Structure 1
Amino acid sequence: MSSISTTSVRFPNLAKPTKLGALSLRNRTIMASMARNRAVPASFPSDAMATFYAQRAGPSGAGLVLTDATMVSPQGTEWGTSPGLWTEEHAKAWKKVTDAVHQQGGLIMVQLYHVGRCGHPDMPIHKLSGQPLWAPSAIAARGGQFRDLPGEPGYPTPTPIPDPTVILDEFTHAAKMAILAGFDGVELHCANGYLVDQFLSDTANFRTDKWGGSVENRVRFGLEAVRRLIEVWGADRVGAKVSPAGGYNDSYHTTPESRVETYKTFITELDALNLAYIQIAGYNAWGDPKHGGVPQGYPHDMIETYGPLIKKSKLIVNQDYDGESAEKVVKEGKAEAVVFARNYIANPDYYKRIEEGIPLNASHMETWYPTGTNLGVGYTDYPFAPEVLA
């Protein structure tokens, strides 16, 4: 449990231990999945990643750590140094990370995903797959900028996936590799305009088979992917992340009504699987591309709209929370725990800092993604509170 006394903290409800399925968290702060592009050599977790996650999993850090979004195959990649988990060699590299976290007494789950139309067939890792760029339908996302490729191209038009069960098989395999890697559970990335989200969308999915058309068909792929993870791990060690507000990666629906109906159906069906948790991410104005000056997302109250649908799984929430707002949502019983993103980039001991009122480190966006060989800059070099106070 936490080394910080629950009787002397600013936010006692965040300090209370809790359970998400089979996982016992020592506090109710969770570090979000954040792409940091430190998998060097390409797709293999680096030593710097082991240090980074261990720093944030210690007694002064998060009750649960979620990894970078992790590819289930080379075909489903977006950037050259995103981590993967499709071979036993990947699992061995990840084992260094999970061992480091467990040595700190922490918990770590891997977030699995496939980018679908958000990838590019000219990316070197993608070429290893020998496959075209796959998505539900031949509809390109607008925008994009592949900085690793000459000319920094945008999103190309994908090829419709002939048989989606091929990718479901990849999720099954990645889940098995996650056991070898020593993770405490797995989360399915159903958010942010990536493959599962593309199947959910009535503007990205024009299929006429059982994987498209009606709401019931469009939610099928995501539900089947979650079931694949459950078959390997059991429902009490599986989570799912959704972003009903959309916007990121050209994620949108024809109407707000279509969006809400789709996600109400999807979340209801996810909850019926009795997952460890369902993570609902709110509207991200910073990540909404605003095509033509018009935002693509649909801001609405995530907890009010979808919270009552979650009866068997635990609800965790993610939307620019700070200590005060997180304490309030947990105290009121609206969420079991709160997911924090950018504040955990610059503050490995973010939990300790908000509980004890210690000033936060400033986050330097220019170092979020490495441009050289020193992977620790802006990653593992942020000071802990005692260094700052000294």
Structure 2
Amino acid sequence: MEAMGPSLSTPTVPLLSTLLTPLRLGPLRLRNKFLMSALARDRCYPTNVPTDMMVEYYRQRAKGGASLIVTEAILIERQGTEWPHAPGIWSEEHIAAWKKITDAVHKEGAYMYAQLWHVGRVCHSDAPEQIASGQPVYAPSPIAARFGKFRFLPGEPPCSTPLEIQDPTEYVDMFRQAAINAKKAGFDGVEVHAGGGYLIHTFLDNTSNKRTDAWSGSVRNRARFGLEVLEVVSEVFGANRVGVKLSPACGHNDVGMPLKDTLETYSYFISEADKLGLAYMVFIRDIDFLDPVIDGQKRGTPHDMVSSYKHLLQNSLFFLNGEFTPIPAADAIASGRADGVFFGRPFINNPDLPKRIEKGIPLTMEMDITTLYGPTDGIVKDVEVLRKGYTDYPEGVEQEKRAGG
């Protein structure tokens, strides 16, 4: 990660002006190319309904100049996720809460997509939300994910072994309903999370999908679930308001096929998805953060996203994601390697990231990583504690005033 300081002012680095130009995304005209990636922040305390604190968090980043904000991953049904207090969108209460957020973002001149998410097997049956659902954990096949631990549960257990989904079309329908709810909540579009080792990803991956029916085996069968999800959400919003997030190289949550299988699977999936005329596909680069060591070796399948997949997109924009900072992002766009780049962590401690770049204000380097997801044990004794590292990062102009005395 390059240094982030005064040298990043636009006059000093003309390349950065690339990020300040508009971008056409389907029917939307984005004011610049500062796209804010989905960022899990774990602030839906005490349950799974977005809060007024979240309204402020997203409003800050829209006011700071972001053109498109993709929400943190939103659950399409109640589940015992790897962290507590993840937001949902399956009820009228959720719709009303998200509407406050989309209204605030729109008022500041930005657009907002809802990232629709089903974690599949990355669950635990003893998590409070899973217990409240009255349902066991389900996945394409009864294979437990080997990864970290549920820190907020006694004994910090690993993932539960799931039951096999009997009828995948029920889950396709859940995505459809989630898209309907997102539209009611005022979102401008949706991003389908098809990476990260979550439900759609585990249908695609032949190490996690060992079914013996029409949803597994061949590449076409394994791609079927994700493609049907994209089709139904496109029926709700229009395909030109739908994006999809993919992570072919990453081994996050215990997925990853041999390179030959990976290229074959994703080339088919991407080519078929592109026929729908989606707004964009975003590809997560091979990064260490999303490639855990399991049984002594890296789990993912490192390969280059641009050379492997960009040529397959004829109707959708090609976006990149994965630990980008402004200069590499601007270079990727200016060189034609990508149509756009999503920024993740730089938006956490720089709520006005675009305005800082535009005005030549140094970026904030400091970030307290212990506050990224709230208390690690899920216990909140004082709600105000959740503001730390969330809504209390100052704007650049305010910092300059402080520095000037």
The equivalent of 2:7 in structure 1 is: none
**Matched AA of 1:301:** D
The Cα offsets for residues 91-139 of structure 1, whole Å up to 9 and x where unpaired, read as 0011111111111111111100100110111111122322210000011
- Give the superposition deviation at 1:292: 2.4
Q: TM-score, normalised by structure 2?
A: 0.92
The equivalent of 1:3 in structure 2 is: none
Aligned mate of 1:326, from 320, 323, 329: 329
- Give the superposition deviation at 1:9: 7.8
Asked whether 1:133 is paired with 2:144, we answer no
Aligned residues: 384
The equivalent of 1:386 in structure 2 is: 397
Aligned mate of 2:217, from 176, 196, 213: 213
Query: Hey, which bits of structure 1, 4+ residues long, moved more than 6 A?
Result: 6-9
The equivalent of 2:4 in structure 1 is: none
Query: Which aligned pairs between 1:301-340 and structure 2 lie closer than 5 A?
Result: 301-340=304-343
Asked whether 1:51 is paired with 2:56, we answer yes
**Alpha-carbon distance between aligned partners in 2 of 1:243 and 1:134, rounded to the nearest angstrom:** 22
The equivalent of 2:26 in structure 1 is: 21
- Give the superposition deviation at 1:376: 1.1
The equivalent of 2:346 in structure 1 is: 343
The equivalent of 2:5 in structure 1 is: none
**Matched AA of 1:28:** K
The answer to which structure, 1 or 2, has the higher relative contact order (CA under 8 A, 6+ apart) is: 2
Q: Secondary structure, in 3 states, of the residue corresponding to 2:113? A: strand
- Give the superposition deviation at 1:364: 1.2
Asked whether 1:377 is paired with 2:382, we answer no
**Matched AA of 1:159:** L
Q: Secondary structure, in 3 states, of the residue corresponding to 2:308? A: helix
Moved more, 357-366 or 341-350: 357-366
- Give the superposition deviation at 1:345: 0.6
**Alpha-carbon distance between aligned partners in 2 of 1:322 and 1:79, rounded to the nearest angstrom:** 26
The Cα offsets for residues 32-51 of structure 1, whole Å up to 9 and x where unpaired, read as 10110011231100111111
**Matched AA of 2:351:** P
**Alpha-carbon distance between aligned partners in 2 of 1:202 and 1:104, rounded to the nearest angstrom:** 44
Q: Secondary structure, in 3 states, of the residue corresponding to 1:68? A: coil
The equivalent of 2:287 in structure 1 is: 284
Asked whether 1:182 is paired with 2:193, we answer no
**Alpha-carbon distance between aligned partners in 2 of 1:16 and 1:347, rounded to the nearest angstrom:** 20
Q: TM-score, normalised by structure 1?
A: 0.95
Moved more, 349-358 or 49-58: 349-358
- Give the superposition deviation at 1:264: 1.0
- Give the superposition deviation at 1:297: 1.2
The equivalent of 2:199 in structure 1 is: 195
- Give the superposition deviation at 1:21: 1.0
Aligned mate of 2:149, from 138, 145, 149: 145
Task: Judge conservation of contact 1:144–1:154 (CA < 8 Å) in 2.
Answer: yes
CA RMSD of aligned residues (A): 1.7
The Cα offsets for residues 360-381 of structure 1, whole Å up to 9 and x where unpaired, read as 2212101112123222110000
**Alpha-carbon distance between aligned partners in 2 of 1:209 and 1:23, rounded to the nearest angstrom:** 40
Task: Judge conservation of contact 1:64–1:106 (CA < 8 Å) in 2.
Answer: yes
Q: Secondary structure, in 3 states, of the residue corresponding to 1:339? A: strand
Q: Secondary structure, in 3 states, of the residue corresponding to 2:116? A: strand
Task: Name stretches of at least 5 consecutive residues in structure 1 with no aligned partner.
Answer: 1-5
Task: Name stretches of at least 5 consecutive residues in structure 2 with no aligned partner.
Answer: 1-9
The equivalent of 1:84 in structure 2 is: 88
Asked whether 1:367 is paired with 2:371, we answer yes
**Matched AA of 1:285:** D
The equivalent of 2:6 in structure 1 is: none
**Structure 1's 269 and 7: CA in aligned 2 closer, same or farther, altered over 3 A?**
farther
